[in-house]
């Protein structure tokens, strides 16, 4: 049940944030990591999103930028599967440990941290690093998939389909400690997560969502309610009673493959451009966005350069909309119009011949 009073207070808080916020300080971290799954190419996602103009777009919006560049992750020479199934556990664990340190430092220094992946296993590191300084954070997970299989329920063996299982406290008696994962501490409670855009959920994941009462809005709910109502209910659930930092974890495959073809696990029937950007716009309006992941752009999985560029440009729009870009145009802060310094300047300098 969603009470009118709590929604009204949320809207008042949004207006207050809009009126009082200063320019965003944004840290950008490239995470060219692909071993949370088996397809090559997603490690080129950060470069593709940068080439699509991310930094310039954020600068135009008036953001104060700190670019950490693209990280170089430590190589693990021998990384046998866990349980003869879960691939690259040590590589994933170590890369996320290194990423968590960078995200933690950025958040500690007062930046909203944008991490460009790379595959979605990177959320283990981004959320862990974020939670060290914002332990009350909440997560909006925009994705075609739930990514909450455990190492014991996964069929694919890919850790990019498991990241949330390592982070949710209520699941810890169901999750074994993988090699390389001893540093990971569960930092989320199930009521602090909302999914948007689900349409390919494995049976064990569906059981987890229902058993642990994790809120989700599948594409069916988006069709039924509309994206405006979905966002109202999402924000009321997460921050309606108390303002909390928001971690937006956005998998580009949440969009329909016609819009975002350059991704590893596309699923038909996804978000439209307007629905995806509206999610970011509404999160921006809260003034509470503290960290953002944009993952799973894979420019090598398409047949044309145009498709790769379209997917990367879509990723830039999602990020820019999270920091103030509007569909009327991305405007810098502009609070006055210039006036002529003397009457002569407003008069024509040439005589008009009749």
Catalytic residue chosen out of the listed positions 232, 253, 256, 282: 253
Catalytic residue chosen out of the listed positions 79, 147, 202, 282: 147
Both structure tokens of 26: 């944004």
Catalytic residue chosen out of the listed positions 43, 221, 282, 296: 296
List all residues 6 or more positions away from 69 whose beta carbon is below 8 Å from its beta carbon: 30
Binding residues: 120, 143, 145, 147, 251, 253
Of residues 267, 339, 254, 296, the one with CA closest to residue 36: 296
Contact 196, 230 (CB under 8 A): yes
Catalytic residue chosen out of the listed positions 160, 202, 205, 282: 160
| 331 catalytic per annotation | no
Binding residues for Mn(2+): 120, 143, 145, 147, 251, 253
Catalytic residue chosen out of the listed positions 43, 251, 256, 282: 251
Both structure tokens of 238: 């997460």
| 350 catalytic per annotation | no
Helix (H, G, I), strand (E, B) or coil at 168: strand
| 251 catalytic per annotation | yes
Q: Could you give the strand order of the β-sheet that contains 138-142, starting from the edge strand earlier in sequence?
A: 64-70, 25-31, 112-117, 289-295, 246-251, 138-142, 193-198, 215-218
Contact 272, 317 (CB under 8 A): no
Contact 59, 26 (CB under 8 A): no
Catalytic residue chosen out of the listed positions 43, 79, 119, 143: 143
| 120 catalytic per annotation | yes
Instruction: Say how many C-beta atoms besides its own lie within 10 A of residue 73's C-beta.
Output: 21
Catalytic residue chosen out of the listed positions 24, 120, 130, 284: 120
| 64 catalytic per annotation | no
| 213 catalytic per annotation | no
Classify residue 113 as exposed, middle or buried by CB count within 10 Å of its CB (0-12, 13-18, 19+): buried
Which residues form the catalytic set?
A: 120, 143, 145, 147, 160, 251, 253, 296
């Amino acid at each position: 049940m969603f009470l009118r009073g709590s929604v009204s207070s949320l809207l008042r808080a949004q207006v207050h944030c809009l009126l009082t916020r200063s320019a965003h300080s944004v840290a950008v971290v490239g995470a060219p990591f692909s071993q949370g799954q088996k397809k090559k190419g997603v490690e080129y996602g950060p470069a593709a999103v940068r080439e699509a103009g991310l930094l310039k777009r954020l600068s135009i919006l008036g953001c104060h930028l700190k670019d950490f560049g693209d990280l170089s992750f430590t190589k693990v020479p021998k990384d046998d599967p866990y349980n003869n199934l879960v691939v690259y556990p040590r590589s994933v664990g170590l890369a996320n440990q290194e990423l968590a340190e960078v995200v933690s430092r950025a958040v500690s220094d007062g930046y909203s941290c944008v991490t460009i992946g790379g595959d979605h296993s990177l959320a283990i590191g981004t959320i862990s690093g974020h939670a060290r300084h914002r332990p009350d954070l909440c997560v909006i997970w925009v994705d075609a998939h739930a990514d909450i299989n455990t190492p014991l329920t996964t069929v694919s063996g890919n850790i990019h389909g498991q990241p949330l299982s390592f982070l949710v406290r209520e699941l810890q008696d169901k999750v074994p400690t993988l090699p390389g994962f001893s540093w990971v501490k569960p930092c989320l409670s199930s009521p602090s997560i909302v999914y948007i855009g689900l349409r390919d959920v494995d049976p064990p994941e569906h059981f987890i969502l229902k058993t642990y009462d994790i809120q989700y809005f599948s594409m069916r709910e988006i069709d039924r309610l509309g994206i405006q109502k979905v966002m109202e209910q999402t924000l009321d659930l997460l921050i309606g009673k108390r303002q909390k930092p928001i971690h937006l974890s956005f998998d580009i495959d949440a969009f329909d493959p016609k819009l975002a073809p350059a991704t590893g696990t596309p699923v038909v029937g996804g978000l439209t451009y307007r629905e995806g950007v509206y999610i970011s716009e509404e999160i921006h309006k809260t003034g509470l966005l503290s960290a953002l992941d944009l993952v799973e752009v894979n420019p090598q999985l398409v047949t044309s350069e145009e498709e790769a560029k379209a997917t990367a440009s879509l990723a830039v729009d999602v990020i820019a909309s999270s920091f103030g870009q509007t569909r009327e145009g991305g405007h810098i802060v502009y609070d006055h119009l210039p006036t002529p310094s003397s009457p002569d300047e407003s008069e024509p300098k040439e005589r008009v011949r009749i």
